[in-house]
């Protein structure tokens, strides 16, 4: 389907192979000159839209591209996750994967296509950006443009925020990415608190020989730990397994820990080497020979940065001193392994701005919220 908005702009609903190729290429056309931008692996981007991706078992979506004189200059997607809580008794629509040159009419064409599609499906609100859901890459970078993103985190031109607000999108929630040196000096209060409970706390790394069984435990903890958080949608068994398969090549047992309190699993933390250190110059492509280069680099490269993408504490432990002690115990265990392997900076992301307890704990370690990601909403007709 092609909608001609003017003599200059055309909006295409992406369906053909050529459309997908152009849609994937827009990010490089827009951000390719930014030295901080890290091109995502295009194969992984394609897999997101495969009918075999477990997200689509309970969701529907559409992507669009804007062309001028045959040249792709903008891209966007819209999704509805049917597990998302209703807004005013109607579905909440998502938008995401937004890439656009710095021209308001192009942004208006993209966001207008997403709005129209979501409105036709009964959505009362549009929220984003999501890539594709709350459990993937989310938020628009609004602070911290001068540092490259960590793996599975986004980057964006500064002008995107202006394009969003010009289209009536309003800020609704901010997400923080904290940066921390793993050799920090532990706060005395945390050490004292941990001493009160350490006889009842047991920390174990993931057993990679029983990886699938361990994933089942982590999924239960993750869905319970995040259940009351803003915008959360629980991960299905298939989605968590898919995520686990994607992370498996990066997982090192010593960078993981599961916390047990009196024999019960009550928390977990996983840190991953920052893959972006070794893929930035691949321009998103693994074929024909870059995949071999990537495998060699992953084995030989001395990673200086890492990210904690998954962490959770059981609800029964949250907002208690015991929960703070568990958080410190897990961070302390993994940060020692990271420091021993030469990692100099760790990102813990993302943390909601209203998660005051976790924000306070991280800041007590000396972590700084060096990147901010903003979520936006707009009421639809």
Q: Taken in order 101, 103, 109, 111, is the CA torsion positive or negative? A: positive
pLDDT of 223-262, one tens digit each? Answer: 999 999 999 999 999 999 999 998 998 999 999 999 999 9
Q: Is the pLDDT of residue 5 over 70?
A: no
pLDDT of 185-217, one tens digit each? Answer: 988 988 888 888 888 999 999 999 999 999 999
pLDDT class for 91, splitting at 50, 70, 90?
very high
- Position of tokens 């639809």? 380
Question: Which H/E stretch holds residue 259?
Answer: strand 256-261
pLDDT of 39-89, one tens digit each? Answer: 988 888 899 999 999 999 999 999 999 999 999 999 999 999 999 988 778
pLDDT of 300-341, one tens digit each? Answer: 889 999 999 999 999 999 888 898 999 999 999 999 999 999
In the chain, domain spans: 2-175, 182-343
pLDDT class for 7, splitting at 50, 70, 90?
low
What is the phi-psi region of residue 288: left when phi exceeds 0, alpha when psi lies from -120 to 50, beta otherwise?
alpha
Please name the residues in contact with 295: beta carbons below 8 A apart, sequence gap of 6 or more: none
The predicted model scores a pTM of 0.94
β-strands 345-352, 305-313 pairing? parallel
Q: Under CATH, which architecture does the 2-175 domain have?
A: 3-Layer(aba) Sandwich (3.40)
Question: Which H/E stretch holds residue 177?
Answer: strand 170-180
> CB–CB of 266/273 below 8 Å?
no
Name the CATH superfamily, with its identifier, for domain 182-343: Gcn5-related N-acetyltransferase (GNAT) (3.40.630.30)
The full DSSP string for 114-149 is: HHHHHHHTT-SEEEE-EESSTTSEESEEEE-TTSPP
β-strands 125-128, 92-100 pairing? parallel
Topology match between the domains 2-175 and 182-343:
yes
Mean pLDDT of 124-140: 95
């Amino acid at each position: 389907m092609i909608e001609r908005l003017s003599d200059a702009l055309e909006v295409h609903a992406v369906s053909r192979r050529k459309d997908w190729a152009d849609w994937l290429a827009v990010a490089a056309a827009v951000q390719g000159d930014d030295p901080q931008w890290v091109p995502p692996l295009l194969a992984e981007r394609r897999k997101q839209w495969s009918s075999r991706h477990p997200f689509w078992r309970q969701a529907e979506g559409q992507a669009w591209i804007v062309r001028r004189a045959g040249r792709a200059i903008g891209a966007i997607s819209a999704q509805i996750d049917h597990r998302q809580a209703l807004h005013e008794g109607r579905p909440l629509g998502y938008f995401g994967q937004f890439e656009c040159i710095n021209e308001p009419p192009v942004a208006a064409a993209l966001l207008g296509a997403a709005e129209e599609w979501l409105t036709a499906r009964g959505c009362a609100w549009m929220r984003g950006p999501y890539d594709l859901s709350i459990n993937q890459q989310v938020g628009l970078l609004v602070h911290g443009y001068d540092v490259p993103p960590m793996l599975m985190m986004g980057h964006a031109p500064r002008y995107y925020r202006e394009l969003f607000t010009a289209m009536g999108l309003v800020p609704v929630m901010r997400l923080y990415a904290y940066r921390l040196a793993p050799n920090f000096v532990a706060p005395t209060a945390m050490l004292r608190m941990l001493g009160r409970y350490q006889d009842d706390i047991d920390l174990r790394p993931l057993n990679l020989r029983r990886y699938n069984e361990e994933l089942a435990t982590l999924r239960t903890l993750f869905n319970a730990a995040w259940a009351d958080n803003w915008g959360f949608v629980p991960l299905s068994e298939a989605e968590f397994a898919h995520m686990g398969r994607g992370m498996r090549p990066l997982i090192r047992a010593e960078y993981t820990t599961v916390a047990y309190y009196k024999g019960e699993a009550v928390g977990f933390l996983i840190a991953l080497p920052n893959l972006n250190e070794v893929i930035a110059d691949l321009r998103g492509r693994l074929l024909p020979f870059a995949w071999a280069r990537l495998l060699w680099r992953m084995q030989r490269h001395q990673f200086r940065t890492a990210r904690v993408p998954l962490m959770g504490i059981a609800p029964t432990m949250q907002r208690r001193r015991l929960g703070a002690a568990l958080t410190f115990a897990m961070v302390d265990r993994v940060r020692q392994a990271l420091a021993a392997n030469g990692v100099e900076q760790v990102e813990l992301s993302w943390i909601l701005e209203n998660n005051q307890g976790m924000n306070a704990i991280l800041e007590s370690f000396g972590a700084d919220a060096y990147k901010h990601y903003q979520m936006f909403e707009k009421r639809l007709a």
